[in-house]
């Protein structure tokens, strides 16, 4: 059968809506950023253990040292073992260990060994486990951000994730992540796993540690619910 140009054009008009429907149905639909963050909170609150990595911009300090990064593992609700890399001078780094088990806190410093800290000193040590607290950590704060916007999707460590942008108040940011002492609004970019709704990565920007300098903090979470043993260092 020979189709005339007019018939072909008419057929194209008839098929166009069907093709558009098929493409939309078979493609990856955009997510609602409000729902993405609402689902991320309960998912994170249900985690039993995780590995944590933090990268600090300028301004973060720990017992007088300038902090560059920290990494470790958490066994919830409150046990953690973290290694902090801090700048001792302009060209050298030291590693400081922080172990928190059963409400006790130990600091391991090169050449000084292991020392348990108590009272106000122990209170001043940031708790990585605080990140996962259902009420006071990220699970209780994630959905409270303002001006939520979906930036698309992106893989984080091989996990297909939604990428969402939002803004938190200083109080919300300080509540969720220690050792922040923020002022003003804090902008956040958040990556949430599409399949499991778990928070994979957060990038915070703003005056995180002082009132006069804008900086960043990147938090990465992975190895959720793995078998983790955290022992007292002494």
pLDDT tens for 76-129 read 998 999 999 998 877 789 999 999 999 999 999 988 899 999 998 888 888 888
What the block records as the tokens of 171 is: 């109080």
What one-character-per-residue DSSP string does 60-85 give? -EETTEEEEEEEEEEETTTEEEEEEE
Between 91 and 135, the more confident residue is 135
Q: How crowded is residue 109: how many other Cβ atoms within 10 Å of its Cβ? A: 15
Is residue 149's pLDDT more than 80? yes
Between 56 and 26, the more confident residue is 56
Listed by start position, the domains of the chain span: 33-222
Sign of CA dihedral 153, 130, 67, 183: positive
> How does the average pLDDT of the chain come out, rounded?
87
| The domain made up of 33-222 is a member of CATH 3.30.70.1060 | no
What the block records as the tokens of 97 is: 């260990």
């Amino acid at each position: 059968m020979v189709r005339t140009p007019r018939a072909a054009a008419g057929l194209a008009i008839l098929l166009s809506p069907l093709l558009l429907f098929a493409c939309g149905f078979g493609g990856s639909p955009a997510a609602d950023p409000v729902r993405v963050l609402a689902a991320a909170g309960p998912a994170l609150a249900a985690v039993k253990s995780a590995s944590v990595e933090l990268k600090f911009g300028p301004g973060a300090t720990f017992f007088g040292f300038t902090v560059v990064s920290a990494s470790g593992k958490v066994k919830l609700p409150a046990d953690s073992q973290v290694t902090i890399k801090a700048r001792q001078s302009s060209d050298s780094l030291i590693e400081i260990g922080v172990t928190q088990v059963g409400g006790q806190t130990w600091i391991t410093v090169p050449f000084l060994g292991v020392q348990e800290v108590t009272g106000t000193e122990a209170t001043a040590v940031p708790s990585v486990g605080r990140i996962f607290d259902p009420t006071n950590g990220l699970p209780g704060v994630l959905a409270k951000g303002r001006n939520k916007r979906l930036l698309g999707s992106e893989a984080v460590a091989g996990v297909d994730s939604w990428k969402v942008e939002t803004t938190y108040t200083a109080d919300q940011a300080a509540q969720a992540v220690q050792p922040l002492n923020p002022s003003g609004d804090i902008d956040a970019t958040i990556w949430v796993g599409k399949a499991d709704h778990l928070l994979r990565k957060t990038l915070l920007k703003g005056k995180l540690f002082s009132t006069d300098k804008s900086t960043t903090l990147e938090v990465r979470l992975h190895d959720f619910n793995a078998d983790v043993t955290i022992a007292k260092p002494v």
